[in-house]
Structure 1
Amino acid sequence: MAGSLIFEFQLELPEHDAEPVAPGQPMRLLVLGDFSGRAPDTPLARRPIHRLDLDHFDQVMARCAPALDLTLDGAPATVRFTCLDDFHPDQLYQQAETFQPLRNQRQRLSCPTSFAAAAAQMQAPTTPAPSPAPAPAQADGGDFASLLGGAVRPAAPRSDIDALVKALVGAVPGTDTRQSSYLAAADSVIGARMRELLHTPAFQRLEAAWRSVHKLVTELELDSGLELYLVDISKDELAADLKSAGAQLQQSALYQLLVERPRQSPDGAPWSILVGDYRFDAGEEDVQSLSALAALASQAGAPLLAGAHDSVLGCAQLASTPDPDDWTAPEAAASERWQALRASPHAGWLALAVPRMLLRLPYGKLTDRIDHFNFEEADGQLDHDHYLWGNAAFGLALLLGQAFNAEGWDMDPGGQLELDDLPAHTFRRDGEAHMQACAETWLSDRAAEAVLRLGLMPLRSLRDRNAARFQRCQSLAQPPQALCGPWQR
């Protein structure tokens, strides 16, 4: 076996016996994930750990300074965020540079005193950009105004603005000078750009990360007894650190973050639960990472909750193939790795959940109205990948935190399995009303059992309700066993 190898590890870790929970010891949840959208400058071993609560959420987000360097319609665009509202279309439209020319033109169209001139510009033919040459001085009207009728800035190659202007001019009938028609055409182009941004995978990942953490902050009773922390570390960073350490896991930066740093804190209280905003598959790199993380979780005395990729089940997307008969048996090597991981000594410290859960409704007048322009994120049923899905590990962390709020360390990790008050999106198809599954799809009993047999925790949407339920709280281990944690000491 290629890696019985990795799982017997022969990982060199110092002996560490789990200590009983001290009287009054708080439950401390640490969330690990990519919260900046880029590689932080601070080395991982010294990466700051931020304490979160409702009063300081925006401050922590501002300190993490999330930002994305994207390509929208072929042109570079940087989008920065300082608070959760910055992910909303109204804020994006008002603040993101990529919308500035469109915003300026729409303002001119909406103003009675500037409408005629703006409409005349839109009727004028656009001038093709000449070959690159030194850029002339730019008029105060900006890129959008110049492309609509003035001189084109030749220093830039064909830009996203150029394409949008052509689309906007084409959207307005040449003989129609009614203000409402021009504004509708402008909103159509702005809406297309907004959908492109909202549905860019990197944007979705960052928005989902922050909305998931915000869900914990708002739905848990955080105080001195239940504390929530965050550390910015991408999945690639995590894998690289573990690979670099090899068998010497105590030399890894993650060992310092998860094991040593809590022991050196003033009260010496350890982490209680680790929440990884990652999805793992059965590939060699992910399985190696999981096996090392299980050992670190055991040392820390805190189980790791994370997500499983649909490919572990043998399908590319569970939502489109929820029937186990349509799943493909894994390759022999992948199956061997997965079974070896489940049989490894520390697998009881891992919990992987699937599928994901819905984090927000699509934007629109019936769900979440946009103030600054007419916008419908969904026209009828939204494409599955265009919904904002979040890692189900956050749902499990929420339930465990709520159990602690209610019962303290006498909690039963499997006593509460249902997530309620999830976003509920209804749409019409073939003349009938339908509800989008809150956890991606509707899993049959047979499908849920198939997921359980792989050691995963299935999250099942409940029909006709904005709720979902975990089938069981279990670890990844084989034979099946309860999830290890400080509640067992």
Structure 2
Amino acid sequence: MNEEQAAAAQEQQAAPAVETTESAASPLRDLLNKNPKVGAVAKDIKQDEGVVGDALAVLMEEFKRDASLVPDDTMHVIESLLSRIDKVLEKQVNEIIHHPDFQKLESAWRGLHYLVNNSETGPTLQIRVMNVQKDELRKMFTRYPGTRFDQSPLFKRIYEEEFGAPGGKPYGAIIGDYEFDHTAPDMTILEGMSKIAAAAHAPFLAAAGPSIMNFESWQELPKPVDITKKMMDPSYARWHSFR
């Protein structure tokens, strides 16, 4: 029993020496675990950009203060942190590029790119781009309803500054990257745009949204449905009047 107790005592005395050796062999890891700012990055990289910046600043300060803190595994730890950052960035980028709003924006720019690159532009054919949101048009035509459309900024831009001005360059067509249906807000825009287009002798081209047929998407179009009956609904009265 005395020999066993002596062996156990030796093991207990040796244990702290092993822990101390491991800690000394990885001072960088010990620093990462002890410093709350750096540890936040090492354990769970957040979306907050300030956390990463603070962590790197603290790390550099510690290295400048004591060069012995730079162990053999420094590059491994840094590469591990960079790998985690890359994964977080990759996840965030994927969420952005697959978001419906971003894909809609990308589609608009791709459409414009196609139009520009497949049109023979020159002195007699120019493409002008105007950044106007659909809701901005609605607000404008709400402010200038009916016969007051000729007081709107868009009328002045398209008609008065070009078609109605000596030496102006009239528009041949107006293309709107919008989808419309038969609802009141969309009808307000269509009625106003049709008057401006008629005055400028330039057709207004836009797309019909699936909601004009009460569809969730155009994939429902092949399904057997009585479209005529649908469009006899009172909600289409303003649409029929517009047509």
Same fold per superposition (TM over 0.5): yes
1:284-433 equivalent positions in 2, closer than 5 A: 284-319=184-219, 321-325=220-224, 329=230, 332-342=233-243
| Count of matched residue positions in the alignment of Structure 1 and Structure 2 | 190
- Of residues 259, 275, 291, the one that matches 2:159 is 259
The answer as to 2:145 corresponding to 1:246 is yes
1:160 aligns with 2:61: no
Do 1:314 and 1:327's aligned partners in 2 also have CA atoms closer than 8 Å?
A: no
CA spacing shift, 1:117–1:282, aligned 2, 3 Å: farther
Q: Based on CA coordinates, which of the two structures has the bigger radius of gyration?
A: 2
Tell me the distance in 2 between the aligned counterparts of 1:126 and 1:312: 59
**Structure 2 gap ranges (5+):** 1-25, 53-75
8 Å Cα contact 2:175-2:206 kept in structure 1: yes
Structure 1 gap ranges (5+): 1-115, 128-138, 140-144, 153-157, 166-176, 343-489
Which residues in structure 2 correspond to 1:214-293 (within 5 Å)? 214-247=113-146, 248-263=148-163, 265=165, 267-293=167-193
Structure 1 or 2: more helix by fraction: 2
Q: CA deviation at 1:298?
A: 0.6
Equivalent position SS for 1:229: coil
Q: Is the 8 A contact 2:33 2:39 kept in 1?
A: no
SS at match of 1:232: coil
What's the secondary structure of 2:121's corresponding residue? coil
Listed one character per residue, the Cα deviations across residues 421-464 of structure 1 (whole Å, up to 9, x for unaligned) are: xxxxxxxxxxxxxxxxxxxxxxxxxxxxxxxxxxxxxxxxxxxx
Contact 1:258-1:271 within 8 A present in 2 as well: yes
Relative distance call for 1:125 and 1:311 in structure 2 (3 A) is: farther
Structure number with higher strand proportion: 1
The code of the aligned residue for 1:242 comes to: F
Alignment partner of 1:196 is 2:104: no
How far is 1:246 from its partner? 1.2
Once residues 218 and 48 of structure 2 are traced to their aligned partners in structure 1, the CA distance between those partners, rounded to angstroms, is 37
Q: 1:178 to 1:337 in 2, by over 3 A?
A: same
CA drift of 1:207 comes to: 2.8
Higher RCO by CA contacts (8 Å cutoff, separation 6 or greater): 1
What amino acid is aligned across from residue 192 of structure 1 in structure 2?
K
Q: CA 1:117 to 1:191, structure 2 compared with 1: closer, same or farther past 3 Å?
A: farther
Percent of aligned positions that are identical: 26
Q: Does 1:207 align with 2:106?
A: yes
Secondary structure class of the residue paired with 2:122: coil
Return the TM-score normalized by structure 2.
0.63
* TM value normalised by structure 1: 0.34
**Superposition RMSD in Å:** 3.9
- What's the offset of the Cα at 1:178? 10
Which AA in structure 1 matches 2:240? Q
State the alpha-carbon separation in 2 of the partners of residues 126 and 195 from structure 1. Answer: 31
Q: Distance in 1 between matches of 2:34 and 2:203?
A: 63
